[in-house]
Every structure is written in structure tokens, then in C-alpha cells.
Amino acid sequence: METTTNSSSSSEGQLIIPVPSTPGASVPLKESYTHHSPIPTAEGPYILGVDEAGRGPVLGPLVYGVAYCPEAYRDKLEGLGFADSKTLTPETRSSLLQTLSSDPDNLGWSVRVISPQAISSGMLRRPPINLNQQSQNATVMLIKDILDKGIILSEVYVDALGTTSTYQAYLSNQFPGINFTVESKADFKYKIVGAASVAAKVTRDACLEDWTFEETEYTAPEIELGSGYPSDPKTQAWLKSGLDPTFGFPKVVRFSWTTVKLLLEKEGQAVKWIDEGQASLIKAFESAQGLDKDRCGLARELGIRSIAAL
């Protein structure tokens, strides 16, 4: 999916900078996509950082970000102000994304935006694709994309996901010849991971702030979505107001989250499938499988035969 230029804004509605990694104004986020900045031209090898934004929220996408620069650029990177995006104000994060885009010869970044629809369908399928697996897939995809674009990576720093030693061994096996460091709080320890954190956080926030509902018949409550975290009072209020008892929630919601499941069970309309308890259908399928010697009339009408007969 191609992305177009959008803009981020402060809580007061003041325009800050373009956010090129979002779908665009009034464009619904219907599927997961990847956005890449222009590829740097400086001589490598390069270092790369990986971080995410939005693992915990019940609303909106999960965004994985990477940032990369030549090894020789590392000292300059230290003075640019990158850090764990959660410790920065929205205005500072937006300014740092502009910084990340200001030196295209040396700095590159990418994001993988995993839609809430994809998160839900993955976690609710059988067998499920849990959030750790989806996160791992996004990380591998981003690193592979950068390598495929001709960037030579020597070192990759990753914010922890699960058991650090296991994940580090997995990534090293996937990409032999690259030195991987997987650590908790890597966005605080390594500036290149802080840069990736900024790219991911600014993208996710802009996606949620400018969310356009795909459901044209849905009447959204006239209150803010909030941060999307279940503990956010604004998000809690939106969830309670935004639930349709029959049709549930729009696709901005992650249906696999316990918060949503409990609301649907409590406030949603109970559904009973029409074939539940229908003895004639049960008897028909039993006879089709050779479990009933006297095939009923319904089975004959439907042309149902046993596997043995076939």
C-alpha cells in the first residue's frame, strides 16, 4: 500500500510537520502497509535500530519502526536529541521526525503499520498468530527490505521482545553476518533505537488522531478516541459510547483484546446460530457419515452421502 503525505498536530490543533508515513487525509486504514524514506547514499556499513509503538492499546495500529545510518555517522547521531519517544513531548517527537528526514544522504527510516484488523484476525484465528509473532514478522520484514535496497548492515539494535537471548539468537540466524543486540530499554540506551522509536510513535499517533472510519454507515460518538490504551478515561468513554449492540465496534478496535470481549459480552446482543439444537440437521449429518442406518428425508433431499459411499 502506498502512503501519501499527512500532517500531525498538537493537542491544540496547531499544525506541526507533515507525516509522510500515514495513509493520508480522509483515507481509511484498511490494511497493513510499509513506508520507506528515501534510501541514504552515504558509504556504509550501516547501523540500524528497531522499536515499536502501540503494543498495548485497544485502538488503532501497532507500528514498528527502524532507523539507520552509517557507522561513521554514529557520533553525530548522539547529538541530535533522539531518545525513548515516550519521554518526549508530541512537539519534540514531531521535530525529531523532521530531523530524521533532514539528512537523506546519511539517515533513513521505515515503518511497518500493522492494522487493527490484521492484529485481530491474527490473534483470533486457529491456531492464533499472537502479537509477539506479528511483531517478529514485522521486524524481519523491515530488516529484509533495507537489505534488499542495497544497504549493508553491520550492527542492529532491537528493543526487547520476550526473552532477549532467544530473540537475539533467532535474528542472528535469520541474518547471518550482522551483529544483533537485543536489550530491554534499548530506545534509552542507543540513539539509533530512539530514532526508530520516534518514527514509530509519530506515525501511530498521527494514524489514530486522523482516523477515518471505513464503515460509512457507522455513526461515531462525538468524543475523542484518546490514546487508545484501555486505562485512558477518554478511550474508555469512547468504547462505551461507540458500541453498537448488534454490529459491535468499527475496525479501529482490536477485537482480540479482553477489554473489548468483556464489553461485547456485557452490552452486545446475544447471537444464536440457526442450526443450534436442530435435531433434524444433526440426524442428517449423522446419517451422511454412516452413523444412522435410516437416512432421513432431509439428507436425501440435500444429496448427502457418507464418505464410504464416495
Tell me what percent of the residues of the chain surpass a pLDDT of 70. Answer: 82
Question: Which is more confidently placed, 255 or 70?
Answer: 70
Q: What is the pLDDT of residue 237?
A: 92
Question: Which is more confidently placed, 268 or 10?
Answer: 268
Query: Residue 52's closest CA among 207, 236, 223, 197?
Result: 197
- Residue 52 is labelled as binding a ligand: yes
192 and 54 within one domain:
yes
Query: Residue 22's closest CA among 203, 197, 211?
Result: 203
Which helix (H) or strand (E) covers residue 7, if one does?
strand 6-9
239 and 139 within one domain:
no
105 and 62 within one domain:
yes
Q: pLDDT-derived band of residue 217, with 50, 70 and 90 as boundaries?
A: confident
pLDDT tens, residue by residue, 132-144: 999 999 999 999 9
Q: pLDDT-derived band of residue 287, with 50, 70 and 90 as boundaries?
A: low
259 and 189 within one domain:
no
Task: Report the distance separating Cα 53 and Cα 157, nearest Å.
Answer: 16
Task: Report the distance separating Cα 183 and Cα 180, nearest Å.
Answer: 10
Over residues 144-158, mean pLDDT: 97
pLDDT tens, residue by residue, 153-210: 999 999 987 788 999 999 999 999 999 999 999 999 999 999 999 999 999 999 999 8
Q: pLDDT-derived band of residue 230, with 50, 70 and 90 as boundaries?
A: very high
- Residue 159 is labelled as binding a ligand: yes
Residue bearing cell 454490529: 247
Question: Which is more confidently placed, 221 or 283?
Answer: 221
pLDDT tens, residue by residue, 5-37: 344 444 444 444 679 999 987 899 999 999 999
162 and 248 within one domain:
no
Q: What is the pLDDT of residue 243?
A: 85
Give the three-state DSSP class for 22.
Answer: coil
Domain region containing 201 = 33-210
172 and 243 within one domain:
no
pTM: 0.81
Tell me what percent of the residues of the chain surpass a pLDDT of 90. Answer: 61
153 and 43 within one domain:
yes
- Residue 75 is labelled as binding a ligand: no
Task: Report the distance separating Cα 220 and Cα 174, nearest Å.
Answer: 44
Task: Look at residue 110 and tell me if it is in a domain.
Answer: yes
Task: Report the distance separating Cα 296 and Cα 284, nearest Å.
Answer: 6
Q: What is the pLDDT of residue 135?
A: 95
Q: pLDDT-derived band of residue 297, with 50, 70 and 90 as boundaries?
A: low
Task: Look at residue 191 and tell me if it is in a domain.
Answer: yes
Task: Look at residue 224 and tell me if it is in a domain.
Answer: no
Q: What is the pLDDT of residue 3?
A: 43
Q: Are 214 and 250 in contact (CB under 8 A)?
A: yes
pLDDT value at 307 more than 50: no
User: Which pairing describes strands 62-70 and 46-53: parallel, antiparallel, or unpaired?
Assistant: antiparallel
DSSP secondary structure of 105-173: TT-EEEEEEE-HHHHHHHHHSSS---HHHHHHHHHHHHHHHHHHTTPPEEEEEEE--SSHHHHHHHHHH
205 and 242 within one domain:
no
Q: Are 54 and 63 in contact (CB under 8 A)?
A: yes
Task: Look at residue 280 and tell me if it is in a domain.
Answer: no
Sign of CA pseudo-dihedral 69, 135, 16, 11: negative
The CATH number given to whatever domain includes residue 201 is 3.30.420.10
Domain count, the chain: 2
Task: Report the distance separating Cα 193 and Cα 47, nearest Å.
Answer: 10
- For every residue of 267-291, which 3-state class applies, written as one string? HCCCCCCCCCCCHHHHHHHHHHCCC
Give the three-state DSSP class for 4.
Answer: coil
Task: Look at residue 309 and tell me if it is in a domain.
Answer: no
Task: Look at residue 245 and tell me if it is in a domain.
Answer: yes
